[in-house]
Amino acid sequence: MVLVEGPLNPSSGGAMGQRGERVCACFPANQNCPKVIPSTDDALTTRIVHEEDVGPCPGEKVCCFIDENFSTVQPPQGCGVQNPIPYRQPGFAEATFGEYPWMAVLLNSADDFKGAGALIAEDWVLTAAHKVYNERNLKVRLGEHDRRFPQDHSTLSHIDVPVSRTIIHPGFNNKSLANDIAVLQLQRSVNTREFPHIGIVCLPAERQLFEAENACWVTGYGKSDFDGGALQDILKEVDLPIVDSTACEIRLRRTKLGEEFILDDSFLCAGGIAGKDACTGDGGAPLVCFSERQGWTVVGLVAWGIGCAQGDVPGVYANVAQLRSFIRDNTGL
């Protein structure tokens, strides 16, 4: 993910948590700790909070812990609900823990990072076909936030589920990346109600249109720069406008793709803003847009680009609404 400009998150008032330590967030002392953490799972409640372990918050702030005193919050629609959890102050362009609970990391059996995806049901992950058509023995990691901590970096660990079946779109073309979509069936269902940091993203209606007016974000662990950048440890987020397909095709024709280039309707474009884009390694990652009516909805999957984050060249995504029938026919969703 590339983001070189944009608003900086305030850096004051955050409590840092190290691996194995209790983690808290600082809140004004005159207000109650937010009750956002469901903890119906035993694993979430076994670590006891000791007052003396509390790192002091600066000024008139109190430390709010993730513990069994937090109440259970059920997502109203059952999909597309963010659940930012007090963990630590996010850095520049960093997601908050639990903010994108549908985010899935694809790993092979050696735990190598293979790409990203989105949880669309308790046993299905949506991803880009180009990330999985050549892979076997994949597993999906859910509830990940900081890849440096392989087991457990807070009271909420990530979980790994093996992929039992990979279904690639029959029209997928590994040269043009047309129809760049696949669904991964998980070996077991994940009961998302047990995990506050794991959740399902909503699916768009068939051929639903999304436009520049929608509030859309892409998240991923991809490289920070096309030339030389590195994969990211902490989940990154970038807000991007959807770009009209005709305008996108015109812009792409001005690149090395040339005047004959045709953008087929299995693609969707977003971005075209200097310094803001997905990048290498973000493939398969969801571009999500929010509406009150629908909740957070997966609109695109990172497919390709010309370099990364060059102004005027949008990133290209698999168009989930156009490819919606493939999802329905293979998963029943």
Residues lying near ligand ARG in the complex (CB under 6 A) are found at 131, 222, 277-283, 302, 304-305, 308, 315
Nearer to ligand ARG, 198 or 287 (CB): 287
List C-alpha distances in Å: 171 to 129, 178, 316, 322.
10, 7, 17, 13
Report, in Å, the least distance between residue 190 CB and ligand ARG.
24
- By CB atoms closer than 10 A (0-12, 13-18, 19+), residue 170 is exposed
Report, in Å, the least distance between residue 18 CB and ligand ARG.
31
In single-letter form, the type of residue at position 308 comes to C
Phi then psi for residue 231, to 5 deg, are: -60, 150
Cα–Cα dist 271/248, whole Å: 10
List C-alpha distances in Å: 253 to 258, 267, 300, 312.
5, 15, 21, 11
Cα–Cα dist 80/199, whole Å: 8
Report, in Å, the least distance between residue 243 CB and ligand ARG.
12
Nearer to ligand ARG, 194 or 239 (CB): 239
Report, in Å, the least distance between residue 245 CB and ligand ARG.
16
Report, in Å, the least distance between residue 267 CB and ligand ARG.
12
Cα–Cα dist 200/302, whole Å: 18
Report, in Å, the least distance between residue 292 CB and ligand ARG.
28
Nearer to ligand ARG, 94 or 277 (CB): 277
Nearer to ligand ARG, 306 or 333 (CB): 306
Strands (E), the chain: 2-3, 24-28, 61-65, 103-107, 113-121, 124-127, 139-142, 159-168, 182-186, 215-220, 236-239, 242-243, 267-271, 276-277, 286-291, 295-304, 314-319
Report, in Å, the least distance between residue 103 CB and ligand ARG.
15
Nearer to ligand ARG, 98 or 315 (CB): 315
Nearer to ligand ARG, 298 or 308 (CB): 308
Nearer to ligand ARG, 155 or 280 (CB): 280
Report, in Å, the least distance between residue 114 CB and ligand ARG.
10
Nearer to ligand ARG, 27 or 133 (CB): 133
List C-alpha distances in Å: 250 to 50, 259, 299.
60, 8, 22
Q: Are 47 and 95 in contact (CB under 8 A)?
A: no
Alpha helical stretches, state H, 71-188: 129-132
Cα–Cα dist 321/203, whole Å: 8
